[in-house]
Amino acid sequence: MVLLEEIREISIVSASKIVMLVIDGLGGLPDAKTGRTELETAHTPYLDQLAKKGICGLIDPVSPGITPGSGPGHLALFGYDPLKFTIGRGVLEALGIGFELTKNDVAARGNFCTVDGNGLITDRRAGRITTEKCVELCKLLSQIKLEGVELFVWPVKEHRFMMTLRGKGLSAEISDTDPQRLGVAPNSAIAEGSQAKQTVRAVNNFINEASKILASHHPANMILLRGFSKLPDIPSMSEIYKLTPAAIAVYPMYKGLAKLIGMKIFNADGGIQEELKVLAGCFEKHDFFYVHVKYADSAGEDGDFSRKVKVIEEVDSALPQLLNLKPDVIVVTGDHSTPAVLKGHSWHPVPVLLYSQWCRSDNAKEFSESACITGGLGRLHATDIMPLAMANALKLTKFGA
């Protein structure tokens, strides 16, 4: 694993183009009956052909045994060590709903919750109120006035919302108010750094006003806040790689993450076909393209093995559209595994395939977990993928003389 600072020194601008196709939650586990994973079950002639011409391997997004969230999984693919560049929960929540954070913002993840007559928590999720109710309550809380800071309260889903304070000199060094257990009162926010006093005052004023407004809205009669955070200090892909990167994605969180590291965002609605149309439209003007396919992960999370197989097959059948653009380097991989049998993200390493004229092909004859085990890339840290893609695009000069 090389440091970004070394890459910054040796990266150069060139005309070659890199496409990184991220099939969210790509890696899987075998179906009990067939013994084959989702990727191994899917009929994928184009991916298999690309694997045959290219070089394959397995990547660990964070570290062997560690199940990554989508944030760390993606950061690693873009070459940012997810153990070094951490994104706060509040910021992730904001990115996830498309809220445009500025450097003056402190964001927190919020829960509506239920407290009893003594103010003790009886339900940390307020009986999972509907999203409609959440929207209504957020509108009410948005009207709270705080001295010297601007307030944003945006609904997320069910009992979840995002709160952001905007103002000069705000600090995110604030303790959670969510005690993460029942039968106790919510904590007051406490300054964890000397710079956070003003922010803590604003947060506690907000909670105080919110509790008055919500008193009549049982079961959502109180709020809990956690994960106070600011935009991370993270160098852009153009600084490090000298790329002009473009992101093609549907979901806000992935667009937000991509924006965080300086990608230009291209919206796409619908599936891979639509995304590849957008790719073709912006192909001339950029040299790195992140294409995000969400639905494999969603199917895995739902435990729907055959739907995940279908999503992978859709990607495969759309692949010619991508190949027609003749990118110099193609990477196909995932940000983590989401085996349908586990109904969630998992720690299993993710299949990766890299194709370029200079990739030094291996014996992998298909794109599958088992073929990738013996692939020429071996087992890599996910942060090695960007340097490899850059090298194959002949965009890196020698390190040392």
Q: Which residues bind its own copies (CB under 8 A)?
A: 1-3, 6, 10, 29-30, 37, 58, 62-72, 82-83, 86-87, 89, 92, 339, 342, 345-348, 358, 360-363, 369-370, 373-380, 384, 386-392, 396-401
Other beta carbons less than 10 A from residue 197's beta carbon: 12
Q: What residues are paired with 281 via a beta bridge?
A: none
Tell me whether strands 245-249 and 288-293 are parallel, antiparallel or unpaired.
Answer: parallel
Query: Nearest to residue 79, comparing CAs of 399, 389, 396, 334?
Result: 389
Strand ranges (E), 277-370: 288-293, 329-333, 350-355
In sequence order, the 6+-apart residues with CB closer than 8 A to the CB of 135 are: 155
The least CB distance from residue 82 to its own copies, in Å, is: 6
For the CB of residue 340, give the shortest distance to its own copies in the complex, in Å: 13
**Looking at beta carbons only, is 70 or 199 nearer to its own copies?**
70
CB of 99 to its own copies, least distance (A): 15
Comparing CB distances to its own copies, the nearer of 235 and 378 is: 378
If the CB atoms of residues 30 and 127 are measured against its own copies, the closer one turns out to be 30
Closer of 245 and 351 to its own copies (Cβ) = 351
Kindly state the smallest distance separating residue 2's Cβ from its own copies, in Å: 4
Q: In angstroms, what is the minimal distance from the CB of 171 to its own copies?
A: 21
Rounded Cα distance between 253 and 267, Å, is: 12
Decide whether 195 or 374 has the Cβ nearer to its own copies: 374
* Comparison of 71 and 186: residue with beta carbon closer to its own copies: 71
Please tell me the distance from the alpha carbon of residue 231 to that of residue 67, in angstroms, as a whole number.
Answer: 23
Q: 390 — phi, psi (to 5°)?
A: -60, -45
Q: Taking the complex as a whole, how short is the minimal distance between the CB of residue 346 and its own copies, in angstroms?
A: 8
Backbone angles phi, psi at 55, to 5 degrees: -130, 140
CB 97 within 8 A of CB 162: yes
